[in-house]
């Protein structure tokens, strides 16, 4: 097999996060489903944004996007990474491009020069640390197969995709193109199911991706797994996952994670934290740690521990990207990287 | 005296903050003086920004500006506030305008339609929690006396100004115009000295403002006070301050604050914290709590305790604006507002 240029290349919606702490009343007032990701149009974005900050904190803005967060986490651990995602050539888009490149991630997707503004997610963080997202896709809608560079994909050990790519109209085709190129080059393809409501929108297609071999590795949390197989019984859903995919990784919040293959099941505990501030990015950073372990050839238990460590860092502050060097953090915690 | 429309109206540089955790090496590499605020041009801003995030965290962006942070804090405590400051009519400027209005602050300064972009401060937070600021003034340079609405000033119980206003070329005139209008209407004028290096640039003028009665109330930290009177002896500097201004409030980090008038000295201890994350905004939020107490007619000790509480909130997370409702926080801590 040819040499790799990147350990992990991610493809996802490029989304700028606007985070604010709020109370439960805000969610109720705007009819939001706590813990989920809802797609919103510009009118609703303005209504939510206009009300954000009232009687609570000042919004904090930062680059986000699920797969992008994961890729930044992998880079922070010290691996070679790239990201493909669409921003507009506007001020926010330039912040976004800066941030991901400053995190040592190769990022060359041409920004949209017209059309909607760079996508934004309005993220409400309630006192219990749970986050509720409202995403305006904006320029992320403009990602097409033309943005997928075959040479970059073929040179990446793992291609990592987010389920949210099923929402913009042409991103799905970009996803499938990338998977085909990756497999033709003998690479692995990973998918995160992203969100239980997203699974609900595309359940049949996601199951087909797994059974048809378009993806080799699935990340899911309990809610997404149960939504995928439409069962409230965790063990039933887990057994189905073992049948449907080569490698399945299911995160269970404070209960840690479970890694399943046809050969076995490995459970790994969560990493202890001092205080839960904001769950935004927990799953994204778990995937970062796990994938980093995987590309370094670690066993599943070690991969799970790296995932737990990275997730623990990100949920102890506002925002979905690490504030500390994960490489240093891993060293300090006896997880050599 | 006429009824007031606002309890406190602030005038300051409207600055968007870009914060990142970094190590001491970053400061050394860029020749920065730790703990200070340096003014930078666009070329240096790009050089610093381009290097931010490397091997550390993702930048976090949010609205800032010293006086603006104070005003947002006062609003969060429940008082009526307004802010005057200049942004450009660009994407960042619109975020800025949104954030301050969402914090219940009246903000009507017309944005600049041409000229430099909305001002940004690149803030490096080292592992000890200290912040080092590099500020590109941008559109803040465009603030002029024409932006000062006499009716708004005359209707504010306290006008609060930042020493940083001495840096943009026309803001000083706006400052002096506001002070004259305020005093003519029987109102109080407060000034924060902002930064020891800023004091170093304008020492003589700041002393004249105090002695000439242009300002009635001074906020300073130890370094600023010592810079003002060019002495390393705290007591000597404090004695001079008592002579020069009606009311002086000196913050001393974990040692609390000292309030001085011609009649006496009141010392108030700092508020205990769990962990120091980022000192950005500590002085701004202290001033918020103190001024809030003042407009509510509280004694200096109570004012100092409110200041200490607000400062404690802001130094336990990244960013210079409160993430929690300070009104709720004050209630929870037995400081009724």
Cross-chain Cβ contact A62/B60 below 8 Å: yes
Q: Tell whether B332 is within 8 A of chain A (Cβ).
A: no
pLDDT category at A126 given cuts 50, 70, 90 is very high
Task: Name the residue of chain A whose CA is nearest to B277's CA.
Answer: A317
What span, in angstroms and rounded, lies between the C-alpha atoms of B126 and A95? 22
Query: Residue B272: inside a domain, yes or no?
Result: yes
Going from the C-alpha of B163 to that of each of B117, B152, B171, the distances in angstroms are 22, 21, 10
Q: What pLDDT is stored for residue B50 in this prediction? A: 85
Query: Residue B278: inside a domain, yes or no?
Result: yes
Task: Name the residue of chain B whose CA is nearest to A92's CA.
Answer: B91
Cross-chain Cβ contact B117/A91 below 8 Å: yes
- pLDDT tens, position by position, for chain B (337 residues)? 789 999 999 999 999 999 999 989 999 999 999 999 999 998 999 899 888 876 667 899 999 999 999 999 999 999 999 999 999 999 999 999 999 999 999 999 999 999 999 999 999 999 999 999 999 999 999 999 999 999 999 999 999 999 999 999 899 999 999 999 999 999 999 999 999 999 999 999 999 999 999 999 999 999 999 999 999 999 999 999 999 999 999 999 999 999 999 999 999 999 999 999 999 999 999 999 999 999 999 999 999 999 999 999 999 999 999 998 999 999 999 997 7
Conformation bin of residue A319: beta by default, left when phi > 0, alpha when psi is -120 to 50: left
Going from the C-alpha of A101 to that of each of A106, A292, B259, B337, the distances in angstroms are 6, 19, 47, 46
Q: What pLDDT is stored for residue A143 in this prediction? A: 97
What span, in angstroms and rounded, lies between the C-alpha atoms of A155 and A176? 17
Q: What pLDDT is stored for residue B53 in this prediction? A: 74
The whole domain housing A310 covers 6-14+65-117+138-332
Which residues lie across from A123 on neighbouring strands?
A19, A133
Task: Work out the percent of chain A whose per-residue pLDDT is above 90.
Answer: 93
CB pairs < 8 Å spanning A and B: 110
Q: Please compute Rg for chain B using Cα positions.
A: 18
A53 pLDDT above the threshold of 80: no
B43 burial level (CB within 10 Å; 0-12, 13-18, 19+): exposed
Burial annotation B136-147 (CB, 10 A radius, 16+ → b, else e)? bbbbbbbbeeeb
In this predicted model, which residue has the larger pLDDT, A116 or B51?
A116
Query: Residue B207: inside a domain, yes or no?
Result: yes
Instruction: Quickly count: other Cβ atoms within 10 Å of residue B87's Cβ.
Output: 30
What span, in angstroms and rounded, lies between the C-alpha atoms of B201 and B208? 14
Beta strands per DSSP E along B28-182 = 37-39, 60-63, 81-84, 105-107, 119-125, 131-136, 156-162
Chain B residues close to A57, C-beta within 8 Å: 321-325
Q: Tell whether A60 is within 8 A of chain B (Cβ).
A: yes
pLDDT category at A154 given cuts 50, 70, 90 is very high
Instruction: Look at the pTM and tell me if it is higher than 0.90.
Output: yes
Phi, psi of B206, rounded to the nearest 5 degrees: -65, -40
Q: What is the mean pLDDT of chain A?
A: 95
Chain B residues close to A95, C-beta within 8 Å: 59, 61
Query: Residue B124: inside a domain, yes or no?
Result: no
Q: What pLDDT is stored for residue B268 in this prediction? A: 97
Query: Residue A26: inside a domain, yes or no?
Result: no
Q: Tell whether A56 is within 8 A of chain B (Cβ).
A: yes
Question: For residues A121 and A64, is the Cβ–Cβ distance under 8 A?
Answer: yes
Q: Which residues contact B210 (CB under 8 A, 6 or more apart)?
A: B218, B244, B245
Q: What is the CATH number of the domain that holds B288?
A: 3.40.1190.20
Query: Residue A51: inside a domain, yes or no?
Result: no
Interface of A with B in 15-34 (CB under 8 A): 21
Chain B residues close to A288, C-beta within 8 Å: none
pLDDT category at A142 given cuts 50, 70, 90 is very high
Query: Residue A127: inside a domain, yes or no?
Result: no
Cross-chain Cβ contact A62/B63 below 8 Å: no
Q: How many domains does chain A have?
A: 1
Question: For residues B138 and B116, is the Cβ–Cβ distance under 8 A?
Answer: yes
Q: Tell whether B59 is within 8 A of chain A (Cβ).
A: yes
Interface test with A, best of B16, B17, B53 (most A CBs within 10 A): B53
ipTM above 0.85, yes or no: yes
Query: Residue B19: inside a domain, yes or no?
Result: no
Q: What pLDDT is stored for residue A336 in this prediction? A: 77
Instruction: Quickly count: other Cβ atoms within 10 Å of residue A35's Cβ.
Output: 16
Task: Name the residue of chain A whose CA is nearest to B46's CA.
Answer: A98
What span, in angstroms and rounded, lies between the C-alpha atoms of B300 and B255? 16
Nearest one of A291, A10, A12 to A153, comparing CA atoms: A10
pLDDT category at A55 given cuts 50, 70, 90 is low
């Amino acid at each position: 097999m040819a040499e790799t240029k990147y350990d992990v290349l991610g493809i996802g919606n490029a989304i700028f996060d606007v985070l604010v702490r709020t109370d439960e009343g805000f969610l109720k007032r705007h009819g939001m489903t706590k813990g989920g990701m809802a797609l919103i149009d510009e009118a609703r974005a303005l209504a939510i944004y206009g009300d954000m900050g009232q009687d609570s904190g000042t919004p904090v803005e930062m680059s986000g996007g699920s797969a992008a967060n994961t890729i930044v986490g992998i880079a922070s651990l010290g691996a070679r990474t790239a990201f493909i995602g669409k921003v507009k050539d506007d001020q926010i888009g330039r912040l976004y491009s800066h941030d991901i490149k400053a995190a040592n991630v190769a990022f060359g997707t041409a920004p949209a020069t017209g059309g909607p503004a760079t996508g934004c997610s309005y993220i409400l963080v309630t006192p219990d640390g749970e986050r509720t997202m409202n995403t305006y896709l904006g320029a992320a809608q403009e990602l097409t197969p033309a943005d997928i560079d075959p040479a970059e994909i073929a040179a990446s050990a793992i291609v990592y995709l987010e389920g949210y790519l099923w929402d913009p109209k042409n991103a799905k085709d970009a996803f499938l193109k990338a998977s085909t190129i990756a497999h033709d080059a003998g690479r692995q393809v990973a998918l995160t199911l992203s969100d239980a409501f997203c699974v609900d929108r595309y359940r049949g297609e996601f199951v087909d991706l797994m059974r048809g071999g378009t993806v080799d590795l699935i990340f899911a949390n309990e809610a997404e797994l149960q939504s995928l197989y439409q069962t409230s019984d965790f063990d039933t859903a887990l057994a189905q996952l073992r049948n449907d995919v080569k490698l399945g990784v299911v995160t269970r919040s404070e209960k840690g994670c479970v890694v399943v293959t046809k050969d076995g099941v490995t459970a790994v505990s969560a990493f202890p934290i001092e205080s839960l501030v904001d769950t935004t990015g927990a799953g994204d950073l778990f995937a970062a740690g796990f994938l980093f372990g995987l590309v370094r050839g670690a066993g599943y238990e070690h991969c799970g521990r790296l995932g737990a460590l990275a997730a623990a860092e990100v949920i102890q502050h506002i925002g979905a990207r690490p504030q500390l060097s994960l490489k240093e953090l891993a060293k300090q915690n006896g997880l050599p990287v």
